[in-house]
Amino acid sequence: MLKRIDLRGTPTTQQRLRTALPRGGTDVQSVLEKVAPIVQAVKDGGAKAALDYGERFDQCRPDQVRVPQSRIDEAVAALDPKVREAIEVSIQRVRKVHSDQLPQEHTTVLAEGAKVTEKFLPVERVGLYVPGGNAVYPSSVIMNAVPAQEAGVHSLVVASPAQAQFGGWPHPTILAACGLLGVDEVWATGGAQAVALLAYGDEEGQLDPVDMITGPGNIFVTAAKRLVRSVVGIDSEAGPTEIAILADASADPVWVAYDLISQAEHDVMAASVLITDSEALADAVDAEVERRFHITRNADRVEEALRGSQSGIVLVDDLHAAIAVANAYAAEHLEIHCEDAHAVAGQIRHAGAVFIGGFSPVPLGDYSAGSNHVLPTSGSARYSSGLSTHTFLRAVNFIDYDEAALKEISEHVVNFADAEDLPAHGEAIRCRFEELT
C-alpha cells in the first residue's frame, strides 16, 4: 500500500536525501492572490467584513464576533465528564512542562559600575487560532493557551470558526476548553478573515488587535499569517502534519502500522513515513496497514494520505543510515522503535519532537504527554522549534553603566565608531567627558 523508496547501496548525502525523501507541503504562494483581498477587506471593514466572509465560507453568521460568556459557561456545564477530566489532566501536565521552561532573569557584571541584565518580558496580547474542519481540536486550545499563560501573557483571545450546527458559534468543546483554561475572549471567526481581524482589530466593535498570532490552520490561514507578519508576530507557517518512524527488526509491525494510520487520519495531505533497515519489517508493516486502515471511521481520508506521494517506506542499509535519513527528513514527529531506542534518540539532531520507544506514541504527545503538539513541519525542524513558553517571551537587555564605567570603555567605542566612519557615534561618547566645538 505504501510506496517504497530503496536507498540501500547509495550514499546518504544531504543533497541526495533532500531530493529522494517523500515530502508533503503546500504552495502558500499560490493562494496569496486569493487571500490578500480578504485580509485587506477585513483591515478596512473590521468585524462586519469578517462576518461577511464567515457567512460565505461557513454558511452561518453569529450575531456578533465575540462569543458571550454565557455560551462559554454553558459549554463547560454541558461537557461530558470523561472529556472534561481528559482536558483537565492534559492542562495539568502541559502546564507543568511549560512552567519549567521559564527562563530566569540574569545579570552580567562586566566591570565595576557596568552591567547588563537580560529580562524575559511576555508579549502583551496574543491571538490563538484554533481550526475547525475535519476534526475538533480542544487540544489546540490547550497547547496554545497554556504556554502563553505560563509566559505571563496579559491578554489572550481565541479565534475559531463559527459552526452552523451550533448556532453560529464555535464548537462547544472548543468553548468548554477555553472556559476551563480561564480564556474569556473567544471570537467566532475562522480562516484568513480571522487572522486579519486578529491583526487589525475593530475599533467600533471594541475588538482589540493582538501583537502575535499562533496556532495551526489550512493553507488560507497560513497565507494570511504570511501577509500580516509585518504587522504582528507569528509562530510559523505550518504545513501538513507528518510522522516518521525509525524502526529496526525488533519493532512491532502492528504498533507501527497503527501509528502511521493515526497520523494519516488528520488530513489527506498528512505524511506517514517509515524508515527501516529491515525489509521483513517493511513488508509486515505494509501488510498491517493494508489490513487495518479501513477499520477507522476516517478510512477514506487515511487511505488518500497513505497512498499519497508524501508517504512511504524508506529502506536503508543499516541503523547508521536510518539515523542519517531521519535527521535529513527532520520530521514534525519522530518515533523511535529500536532495540536501544534511547541510544538512537541520542543521535537525533533534527525533529520537532522525539518519541522514544514503543510506549511513547505520537497520540500521547497530541494530548497528554505534557509536551507541546504545535511543531515545525516540512523539514523546518532543522532550524526552528515547536511552540513553547519561549515563543511568548521577548529577551530584552537592560544596559546600566555609571560614569566611571563608560569612561573606562569610551576610547574603544570612539575608535570603533571612527573605523565605521560614524563620527557622531564617537562624539556622543566624548561629549560626556570633554567640551566639543
CATH number assigned to the domain comprising residue 346 = 3.40.50.1980
User: For residue 273, what is the DSSP state?
Assistant: E
Domain shared by 307 and 177, yes or no: no
Which pLDDT does position 132 carry in this prediction?
80
Residue where the block lists cell 523539514: 379
E strands, 218-311, in order: 233-234, 242-247, 271-276
Which pLDDT does position 390 carry in this prediction?
97
Domain shared by 44 and 10, yes or no: no
Domain shared by 227 and 268, yes or no: no
What region, left, alpha or beta, does residue 381 occupy, with left being phi > 0 and alpha being psi -120 to 50 degrees? alpha
Domain shared by 12 and 49, yes or no: no
Reported for 82-89, long-range contacts at CB under 8 A and 24+ positions apart, including other chains, are 83/173, 83/176, 84/176, 84/180, 86/367, 86/368, 87/138, 87/142, 87/176, 87/177, 87/180, 88/180, 89/368
Answer yes or no: is 389 within a domain.
no
Domain shared by 316 and 365, yes or no: yes
Burial class (CB in 10 A: 0-12, 13-18, 19+), 339: exposed
Which of 370, 388, 416 corresponds to the end of one domain?
A: 370
Its domain, for residue 144, covers 28-104+119-235
Which of 216, 235, 254 corresponds to the end of one domain?
A: 235
Q: Provide the residue-wise pLDDT of the chain in tens; the chain has 437 residues.
A: 899 999 999 888 888 898 889 887 678 889 999 999 999 999 999 999 999 999 999 889 999 999 999 999 999 999 999 999 999 999 999 999 999 999 999 999 999 999 999 999 999 999 999 988 666 889 999 999 999 999 999 999 999 999 999 999 999 999 999 999 999 999 999 999 999 999 999 988 789 999 999 998 889 999 999 999 989 999 988 888 999 999 999 999 999 999 999 999 988 999 999 999 999 999 999 999 999 999 888 999 999 999 999 999 999 999 999 999 999 999 999 999 999 999 999 999 999 999 999 999 999 999 999 999 999 999 999 999 999 999 999 999 999 999 999 999 999 999 999 999 999 999 999 999 999 87
Answer yes or no: is 300 within a domain.
yes
Active site members = 332-333
Which pLDDT does position 134 carry in this prediction?
61
Domain shared by 53 and 157, yes or no: yes
Q: Count up the domains in the chain and report the number.
A: 3
Domain shared by 275 and 215, yes or no: no
Binding residues for Zn(2+): 263, 266, 366, 425
Binding residues for NAD(+): 129, 193, 218
